A and B are shown apart, each in its own frame.
Chain A
Amino acid sequence: GQQLNQSPQSMFIQEGEDVSMNCTSSSIFNTWLWYKQEPGEGPVLLIALYKAGELTSNGRLTAQFGITRKDSFLNISASIPSDVGIYFCAGLNYGGSQGNLIFGKGTKLSVKP
């Protein structure tokens, strides 16, 4: 089945540093989504990308839909302690009876004040 390779698995950074994480797949996706999960909560949608090459920002977060439709990256600029959590990428294909999301295994972000 389809799989997403998300890297890095974890990051330990200093407050104020920029962060970059990415997802790659052997399959093409029509939509890429990035979620954040805080401790004790469910994942929450951060950014959705719908077109190859699309670059979208949400505050200090920027994500891009790779031109090959097989990858996506998420950047966080000037990290702050509340950025701590697990970030998941997810790919979606339309059509069929379901169009299930496929999730990466997550990048755990720790921010040192």
Chain B
Amino acid sequence: NAGVTQTPKFQVLKTGQSMTLQCAQDMNHNSMYWYRQDPGMGLRLIYYSASEGTTDKGEVPNGYNVSRLNKREFSLRLESAAPSQTSVYFCASTVSGGSLYGYTFGSGTRLTVV
């Protein structure tokens, strides 16, 4: 049971470079989320997808784009990376947005922008 799989686990980018963080879940969940975690800030929602074919902005969407490729996969793209985007990124999924069981998280992607 893989749950939520994120790739890569670590990445170093130069300012201005682009990259895509991948996320896949094998639990047949409808809703998927991207969070960033910074020291002392907790988990902040970047974008979410309530269901296949829909995406919406969260609390901190600037500088990011997302694609819900299919029910399983939800990717996060940084078009032009900035040092302020140095963070740990977590993908999560749940059966549906109002699920009583909370979210299942991946193990994170640690991104450093120099």
Residues on A lying within 8 angstroms of B by beta carbon are 1, 6, 9, 31, 33, 35, 40-45, 48, 50, 88, 90, 92, 94-101, 103-106
> With the chains together, A33 CA to B108 CA distance in Å?
20
Quick check: which of B61-69, B72-80, B93-101 contacts chain A, the rest being far away? B93-101
* Interface presence of B43 (CB below 8 A): yes
Chain B residues with CB under 8 A of A45: 101-104
Knowing A48-B101, A98-B56, A98-B97 touch, does A103 contact B108 (C-beta < 8 A)?
no
Knowing A41-B107, A88-B42, A105-B42 touch, does A99 contact B102 (C-beta < 8 A)?
no
> With the chains together, A106 CA to B37 CA distance in Å?
11
Where chain B touches its partner, the secondary structure class is loop
* Interface presence of B45 (CB below 8 A): yes
B102→A101 contact, CB < 8 A: yes
Rank and list the top 7 A-B pairs by shortest CB-CB distance, nearest first.
A42-B105, A99-B98, A105-B42, A98-B97, A99-B97, A94-B98, A103-B43
A101→B100 contact, CB < 8 A: no
